[in-house]
Amino acid sequence: MPEDVTGAHGNTQRDTAPLRRDNAYIRQDRQVAAPTPEHATRPVITHSPTPQQAPHPAPQQPYPGTSRQSAPPPPPPRQQRSQGVTPMGWALRGLVLLLIAVVSGLIWSAIKPDDEVAAPPPLKLRYDFTLVRKEEAFQGCKGVSTDSIQNFFSKQECDHLTRALYTTTLPDGRRVLTSVITVLMPTPQFATQLNELTTKDGTGNIRDLVDDERDGTSDMPDLDDAAYASGRQDRLVVIGDSAFYGKSSKKDPALSDVTNEALKLGWPQDQAPK
């Protein structure tokens, strides 16, 4: 067979022995030499940490400013527990309030009108008076007066006028109608002049509701001065008169007593809500 010009040899099997590594010259206890100054930049590894000694990696903290969510607001400061008011504090507060009340009273006493007097408290009456009718005289006192009293009001008009009718029953069963008229004047001096004028005969009067024939008064007895009385209470003049139902009303001490007792209704009647 001619020789292969390509240099290829025949597919013959070659006997080869396996290579063996000779470790006889390797020292098992060889230590790593310490680095020389020229090799100081190279790390020196003395031993590897065991799995039990390996440190746990620290949790990574987020970089500030990388989160799109706004930082949570700081917790509110702890409120201090309020302390109660001490007894001394309450005493001081009470003293301040007392001083304010005293000063307010002094100021009011200095600025209030001289002729203003507080109305007397209502008195306990000996008769049980029942209000039948009450009117305010918006036209003033002159329009409901006669004779000299009317002339008096043309010079000095009243501040307020009320006219009312009451009924009461005497212990003996007799029924009485009483008229009470209140006239509030600007000053106590004018009230005194009016009261003196009303007590004189022939000077006229302020007409009561029966005289003016108000509704519901047609069956009531006429008040003809049989038990007339008047009185002044500071700026207020109170005029009263009484008469019996169904009986002649001549001079009777019982009627006069009813009228004088009814004069005590003056201030409550004048100051009652309109």
What is the model's pLDDT at position 6? 46
Interatomic CA distance for residues 93 and 89, integer angstroms = 6
The structural domain count of the chain equals 1
Interatomic CA distance for residues 191 and 234, integer angstroms = 7
In a domain, 93, yes or no: no
User: Which phi and psi (to 5°) does residue 263 adopt?
Assistant: -60, -25
Of 61-70, 197-206, 259-268, the least confident:
61-70
What is the model's pLDDT at position 195? 96
- Do 269 and 211 form a contact (C-beta atoms < 8 A)? no
Tokens found for residue 83 = 């302390």
In a domain, 170, yes or no: yes
Mean pLDDT in residue range 117-142: 80
Report the chain's mean pLDDT, rounded to a whole number: 77
Q: Which helix (H) or strand (E) holds 95?
A: helix 87-111
In a domain, 183, yes or no: yes
Taking only the tens place, the pLDDT of each residue in 70-79 is 556 666 555 5
- Do 223 and 179 form a contact (C-beta atoms < 8 A)? yes
- Is 213's pLDDT higher than 70? yes
In a domain, 43, yes or no: no
- Do 167 and 221 form a contact (C-beta atoms < 8 A)? no
Mean pLDDT in residue range 214-236: 92
Q: Nearest-CA neighbor of 212 among 257, 251, 161?
A: 161
Torsion sign (Cα): 182, 183, 187, 191: negative
In a domain, 179, yes or no: yes
Reported pTM: 0.56
In a domain, 53, yes or no: no
Angle of the 188-198 helix axis to the 147-155 helix axis, nearest 10 = 170
Question: What's the domain range around 164?
Answer: 129-270
Q: Nearest-CA neighbor of 177 among 132, 218, 115, 212?
A: 132
In a domain, 256, yes or no: yes
What is the model's pLDDT at position 3? 46
DSSP-assigned letter for residue 142: G
In a domain, 29, yes or no: no
The pLDDT > 90 percentage for the chain reads 45
